[in-house]
Amino acid sequence: MMKQETVEVNAGYLIILTLIAISIGGLVEIVPLFYVEGTIEEVKTADGKDAVRPYTPLEQLGRDLYTKEGCYTCHSQMIRPFRDEALRFGHYSLAAESQYDHPFQWGSMRRGPDLARVGGKYSSAWQAKHLNDPRDVVPESIMPGYPWLRSNDLDYSDIVAKMTTLRKVGVPYSDDDAGYQANVEKFGEKVAKTLDINKAEDNIMLQAKKGNYDGDPSRLTEMDALIAYLQVLGTMVDFNQYDEKYFIDFR
């Protein structure tokens, strides 16, 4: 039997055995993936449509601002399957919920709370006040303020290019009638209309006017977009329709 000392002092043995160990570990991780139908949970609405949809143009612009401002460095969007996390943040995050995220906002660094299910937890007025100066609503907050979001007009001149690019990596935005009809079948007509690249700018204005996220209906600001994004996080899946065992089957 080969002694450990022999391996440690012989670079050739060490390299070969290390490669064998890595190969075995890789095979254990990779081979099972060839025998599963998918790792993304099947989540449907009450009428049988896909519950998780791509972001609307306004929400996507808000997500870009979220990334640009570095919000992900302090807030994760990944609730782990632990009791304490579920009690604080809600049901653990599903793979389905981030299938259209490029890149996804997972992580373990939390200087602030996880935001995977922040949508609807607070009003848009609260979010606007919090983004302007967090200590107005949470006195002990260490989060910096982002007052410029309210004063900066939202630039959506490149939204068509952004949606077209995301379409190339698998996000089902539509740019023709065939794609639109496919989205109607998959998500329903109401959602399909918001995913039409050709109507992106109109959809931005419609959603911003209806949501009035920053409280100023006379302007379309970066704060409108960021709050629209925050308010959709974690709202697509109705967990009351499923018991815990349903999602375990996908793990």
Domain of 216, CATH number, reads: 1.10.760.10
- Residue 244 belongs to some domain of the structure: yes
Q: Which pLDDT belongs to residue 100?
A: 96
Q: For residue 234, what pLDDT is reported?
A: 96
Q: Point out which residues pair with 153 in neighbouring strands.
A: 221
Quote the Cα angle for 159-164-165, to 5°. Answer: 100
Report CA dihedral (29, 34, 37, 40) to the nearest 10 degrees. Answer: 40
Residues 90 and 27 occupy one common structural domain? no
- Which residues neighbour 214 within 8 Å (Cβ) at sequence distance 6 or greater? 124, 128, 149, 150, 221, 223, 224, 227
In the numeric block, the tokens 């629209």 are attached to: 228
Which residue matches tokens 């900066």?
A: 152
How far apart, in whole angstroms, are the C-alpha atoms of residue 192 and residue 100? 15
Contact at 8 Å (CB) between 140 and 103?
A: no
Number of domains in the chain: 2
Residue ranges in the chain assigned as alpha helix (H): 4-9, 11-30, 57-68, 83-89, 124-132, 148-151, 159-168, 177-187, 189-194, 200-211, 222-230, 244-248
Contact 80, 116 (CB under 8 A): no
Cβ-contact 249, 83 below 8 angstroms: no
The answer to whether residues 103 and 72 belong to one domain is yes
Q: Is residue 40 part of a domain?
A: no
User: What does the pLDDT read at residue 10?
Assistant: 82
pLDDT of the residue at 2: 67
Q: Under a CB-based contact definition with an 8 Å cutoff, are residues 70 and 108 in contact?
A: no
pLDDT of residue 141: 95
pLDDT score of 248: 78
Same domain, 138 and 14: no
Q: What is the pLDDT of residue 11?
A: 85
Length, in residues, of the chain: 251
Q: Same domain, yes or no, for 121 and 195?
A: yes
Strand partners of residue 109: none
Mean pLDDT by groups of 10 residues along the chain of 251 residues? 75 88 93 81 92 98 96 93 92 94 86 95 97 96 96 97 97 97 97 97 97 95 98 95 82 67
Q: Does 45 fall in a domain?
A: no
pLDDT of residue 105: 87
94: domain range? 57-248
- Side-chain-side CA neighbours of 66 within 13 Å: the count stands at 26
